[in-house]
Structure 1
Amino acid sequence: MRILMVCLGNICRSPLAEGILKDKVKKAGLAWEVDSAGIGDWHTGELPDKRSISTARQYGIDITDQRARQIRKEDLLHFDLILAMDDSNLRQIQLLAKQVQNPKSQVEMILNYLTPGKNQSVPDPYYGGLDGFEKVFQMLDEATDKIVERVMSYEV
């Protein structure tokens, strides 16, 4: 299984989602590939936001090996599942998918794993304080639990 998490700049939400899911995948002994990317290229090559790093660290997850990157057309051919953090990200990924012949990836909202069909967004904590990052972490932690449960039930 190959999963790509996508948010706007790849420094807040998607790095947290990547780190949380990688941690769960490792603990479960699964051979999954998990990565993240942003819609834009503003932060390419940068570390995740220091508040994302700090929040993840509180839960024993180190995301300092991640570097921001922009989603590419090739990602739609490589990843099995691309998970958007909000509806704007989802629309941008869908537009990119139209430029790819026979995209492999299933594209959906990450919180649909918690509330199927509701298309709820993970709020962008960038302009807030640490509390927003904690709330985002909790949402993503719950959603990634459901992702692991669902995918593992298909693989059995």
Structure 2
Amino acid sequence: MTTATSAPNGDKISVLFVCLGNICRSTMAEAVFRSIVKDPSSPYYDLIGTVDSCGTGDYHTGDQPDPRTLATLREHNITNYRHEARQLRNSDFKQFDYIFAMDSSNHSEIQRRLKKVGDDKPKVMLFGEFSGTGRKEVIEDPYYIGGALYEKSYEQSQRFSNNFLATVFPDIPKPKK
């Protein structure tokens, strides 16, 4: 993967997280990622521009994140996250440098839409390509399963975010745990 400290146009890198309905996984990933890059004590502070999330479907448009997502975030001291679910838009392909799908079904849908738009700006990837395990991981949808799967989504979001940032900004020392 090519490393960069800014987008091709010189702006800060922008990142979009995508799942199916935009109330569980993509919102979890967005909140975790924001907690890292928008924290003034983080070595990645002020290196990332726009961070957002959306869904490939319109099932929950206008809804707040699932209460179980918010509860998991609160358990990890992320208490200031606000979001209103939205569906993936054609303009997202022009606005974002990285578009991360939570699973292969959403990845395929994003790729399908990207071909229709014909834009080559964003790098569309499975977020789990940054698993750090040598294999791609998916973030399973916890909506119908609940429980521990929300915690697993949090852990994966934290790990994938840190690995992505270390890849994109290899000259910045990794934060101490």
CA deviation string 1:39-61 (max 9, x = no partner): 00110110000000000011111
The answer to whether 1:2 aligns with 2:18 is no
What is the SS of the residue equivalent to 2:62? coil
Match of residue 168 from structure 2: 151
TM-score by length of 1: 0.92
Question: Are positions 1:141 and 2:158 aligned together?
Answer: yes
Please state which structure has a larger fraction of its residues in helix: 1
Task: Report the equivalent of 1:24.
Answer: 36
Query: In the alignment, which residue of structure 2 is the partner of 1:88?
Result: 105
- Comparing 22-31 with 50-59, greater Cα deviation is found at 22-31
**Which letter maps to 2:29?**
A
Structure 2 CA distance for partners of 1:154 and 1:51, relative to 1, 3 Å: same
- The structure with the largest alpha-carbon Rg is 2
Off by >4 Å, runs of 4+ in structure 1:
none
Structure 1 residue 147 displacement after superposition: 1.2
Is 1:106 aligned with 2:123? yes
- RMSD of the alignment, in Å? 1.7
Bigger Cα displacement from structure 2, 60-69 vs 75-84: 60-69
Percent of aligned pairs with the same amino acid: 37
Q: Deviations over 1:38-89 (max 9, x none)?
A: 0001101100000000000111113641110000111011100000000000
Pairing of 1:28-107 with structure 2 (within 5 A) = 28=42, 29-32=45-48, 33-62=50-79, 64-107=81-124
- Cα–Cα, structure 1 residues 45 and 64, in superposed 2: closer, same or farther, change >3 Å? farther
Q: Write out per-residue CA displacement over residues 109-131 of structure 1, whole angstroms, 9 at most, x where no aligned residue.
A: 00111157744311110112321
Q: Which residue identity does 2:128 align to in structure 1?
A: L
Q: In structure 2, the residue corresponding to 1:103 is in which secondary structure?
A: coil
Between the aligned partners of 2:81 and 2:159, the Cα distance in structure 1 is 22
Normalising to structure 2: TM-score of the pair? 0.82
Relative to structure 2, which stretch is displaced further, 11-20 or 132-141? 132-141
Instruction: Please give the alpha-carbon distance, in whole angstroms, between the structure 2 residues aligned to 1:148 and 1:113.
Output: 9
Q: Unaligned regions of 5+ residues in structure 2, if any? A: 1-12, 173-177
